[in-house]
A and B are shown apart, each in its own frame.
Chain A
Amino acid sequence: MQPGSIERQIERHLLKVEKPGRYVGGEYNSVVKDWARADVKVALAFPDIYDLGMSNLGIMNLYHQVNRRDDMLAERVFSPWLDMETVMRQAEIPLYSLENKRPIRDFDLLGISLPYEQLYTNAINMLDLAGLPIMSRDRDERYPLVIAGGHACYNPEPMADFIDAFVIGEGEEIIVEIAQTLGRLRGQSRHEQLRHIARIQGMYVPRFYDVEYHADGTARAVTPNQPGIPARVLKRIVLTLPKPFTKFIVPNIDTVHNRAPIEIMRGCTRGCRFCHAGMVTRPVRERPVAEIMAAIDEIVRYTGFEEISLLSLSSSDYVWVEELAEEVNRVYKDAGLSLSLPSLRIESASADLLEKIGGTRRSGFTFAPEAATEKMRDLINKYVPDDQVIQTARDVYSRGWRTIKFYFMIGHPDETLDDVQAIIDLCGRTLREGTKILGKKATLNVGVSTFIPKPHTPFQWVPQDTRESVEQKQAMLKRQMRRGGMHLRWNTYDDSEFEGWLSRGDRRLARVIRRAWELGCKFDAWQDQHKHARWRQAFAESGIDPDFYNFRERGLDEVFPWDHIDVGLRKKFLQEDYLMSIRRETRVDCRDKCFACGILPKFAKERSTTDDLAWECPPVTPISQRRRARQVEIPLHAIG
């Protein structure tokens, strides 16, 4: 296809579609390189619309890592919304990149971001719109290599038939290695290219692994079918967080999170048992305050964004959070800048923090108590006493915030209606505190999501709550929580059931996903687009029982389809934690006591090269120096 021809083709149609600015690029800070001069060309895809994809920090990071090199280029591509897809299919316009407006087929590498499972059908749809065969086996070296990464890929199996190779873990460094490898192997067969890709630590090439099943449908073993392929793929990590990316693309149209994010910390030491992110992003690595301050300064100068959010899984646990708030307050107090610090712990100090950091603009207050009874709090290992919730709410309301947002989760194992009633009661008490202070202006927004057991967590063994049970609990919530000042949000059971299927799915689900897509399923993350009946039809036509994935209590010795993906945690550790939850036993923050999750021995060599303060895990001294540094205590169970 001639350069410029896609631009001319789309121009005829753009004013007929909603928000045409999604499809034209041209934003400040977007990088349009000379196509002919880049040796390796990478397309970075987020399989949802521009408005959402532009808020994805992962994509931006990779964009930067590739584009800062002279020999490579990276360009973005997002899913066209339904109206634009119709136009593109009718006019036979292939999926194209926003920068040079080149067909995706012309790239060497297509990297698809899969942070959550609901994007799977969109990912396939993008392959199809790009004119690529959707099955990995049907694409040879004439097509771009299709890789995927992101949190959903810690269980890559449901998408294994569509994706050539998965990035397991953190992509910042690996993306360049993959691109370089591809550049070196240009002209070689896809098989040969993949053999080399599979040797990069953190890369998983599904076609080099065979899965055997027991008669009951559970996995027996996943084994490499090629020499030189690792039996388990250990996730890739960066030893210290690379300097934060600051030259964000400034969209020309409004987007969902129209602001710049800075990751202040990666990982979490809390050990909430339901939390996938908390398990797979270990070890905890923090950024120095000075680096964050420099990044804020750069973002203001490079982008002009008026909002910056400081991201982490648990901001209150960021060691220097007080110092950071002080600094931000000192420098940006009157700068017309709004900083948000989500994921704060429920404690009075949080109100202080947000007050300092909020500057001249104020964002909302969001807390996640998750559960409202002692029993459930112990079970999920997230303990926040009622009094603390109430006291914090009082503090927040009395400082003039009118709205607090709470997140709860229902559907955990052994949850009863009493536990759900306790959520309602706690919310009632909280709002009453607000009303005492602010009268009718006080509001409480409550999001109640349904728990979905995730792979690589202590709850990977448990069955998901049934429709009947969840809908009964939701009916209770709806009956009692829709009243003055309180706003309730929840997930439909269809959405939760669907997420459950894919979360702990196996390779056989490819048939179902493909069929669902053929039946018109896409934009499954959009509640009004998700077509649950068609997914059920796809299961039925594929002869696969969906309940097998959601409602089975998995045996302690069961081999999971994702066991060959090594996130650094010992399965034994997860199992212990699961059994502890049954006994209502809790574990403290692992900064106070190391529970030997497995991360440290897995990355002991790497840890010995990092600064003591760089990780929250205890330091590991290289063996050569160990004698001299006896005073450094290494918990024996942590390296054993």
Chain B
Amino acid sequence: MTHLSPVAQRLRITFGKAGTLRYTSNLDMAKIWERVLRRADLPLLYTRGFNTRPRISLAMPLPLGISSECELLDISLRERLDFCEASLRARLLAVSPPGLSILAIEEVAPRSSAMQSRIISAEYRIHFHDRPERADLQGKIDELLGKESIIVERTRRRKRSVMDVRPLILSLQIDDNADLLAHLSVGDRGNLRPDHLLELLGMDDTYNRIHRSRLHLLAE
């Protein structure tokens, strides 16, 4: 690779993460993807330099322990691949570790703007193994949502700051299974993780399982 190869094609893969794969961090997930793509023998575009890597990027970090059905991965190819979605999905799935599911593959413009900056919110489903009293849970939600502001102290890159996380909670609902459905802001403009939400609700000690069900993107 003596010259910078242009991106011939960019693919966006929507994938799910479940089972034991929940315990793989976002950084390690990138490595898993590199290897899946290499096993699938896709014409990956590599970065230059001594430590060359395939040009792939994951949209939005998924905190450890959380399962998902809406993760996004962009990959750049060095040559065009005329693919049929179903067969490419099958080809990737055949070389994926247990827990990884390939939900959709679409072609996007090679120079489309960074996906990360366009993601504004995420929906989560939180299941409590020891099912709480519905009224009790509703009470906690109402109390939290009733507040005008929720000031929390955060340390980020050794800098302390205070911020109001109340606007980051877009909605909280209880579904028929007594699962908590939370719609929270994510991304650079304000990020509230579901485990932090549980802390705010005073429920961080519960035995629960969190699932990310949807990412909301700004239109390009």
Contacts and interface: CB of A to CB of B under 8 A. Distances in A.
Interface of A: 12, 14-15, 20-21, 23-28, 250, 252-254, 258, 300-306, 334, 336, 360-362
A14 B52 contact: no
B64 interface: yes
Closest 5 CB pairs of A and B: A26-B20, A304-B35, A304-B38, A28-B97, A24-B20
Interface in B40-67: 41, 44, 46, 50-54, 64-65
B213 to A, nearest CB: 20
A15 B65 contact: yes
B53 to A, nearest CB: 8
Interface stretch (B21-29, B159-167, B181-189): B21-29
A304 B95 CA distance: 9
Nearest to A29: B97
A23 B65 CA distance: 13
Nearest to A334: B1
B21 A253 contact: no
Contacts of B207: 12
A303 B36 CA distance: 8
A26 B1 contact: no
B98 interface: yes
A395 B150 CA distance: 63
B13 to A, nearest CB: 16
Given A252-B20, A252-B21, A361 B32 contact: no
Given A12-B207, A14-B65, A334-B1, A361 B37 contact: no
Given A15-B64, A360-B46, A254 B27 contact: yes
9 contacts: A27-B97, A250-B97, A252-B20, A252-B21, A258-B31, A304-B35, A304-B37, A304-B39, A361-B51
Measured as residues with beta carbon below 8 angstroms from the partner, the interface class of chain B is 20 to 34
B5 to A, nearest CB: 11
Contacts of A14: 23, 65
A254 B50 CA distance: 20
Contacts of A250: 32, 35, 97
Nearest to A401: B50
Contacts, number: 80
Nearest to B97: A28
A252 B32 CA distance: 7
Contact of A336 (B21, B31, B52): B52
B23 to A, nearest CB: 4
Interface in B164-203: none
Contact of B38 (A23, A300, A362): A300
A336 B54 contact: yes
B69 interface: no
Contacts of A361: 50-52
A308 to B, nearest CB: 12
A616 to B, nearest CB: 35
Given A252-B97, A361-B50, A361-B52, A302 B34 contact: no
Contacts of A20: 23, 64-65
A254 B31 contact: yes
B25 to A, nearest CB: 7
Contacts of A254: 27-28, 31
Contacts of B50: 361-362
A28 B24 contact: no
A404 B49 CA distance: 19
B19 interface: yes
A303 B32 contact: no
B27 A24 contact: no
Given A12-B207, A20-B65, A361-B50, A305 B20 contact: no
B99 interface: yes
A253 B28 contact: yes
Given A20-B23, A301-B39, A336-B46, A28 B51 contact: no
A26 B21 contact: yes
A328 B44 CA distance: 20
Contacts of B101: none
B28 to A, nearest CB: 5
Given A21-B28, A360-B1, 11 more contacts: A14-B65, A26-B99, A28-B95, A28-B97, A252-B20, A253-B25, A304-B37, A336-B44, A336-B46, A336-B54, A361-B52
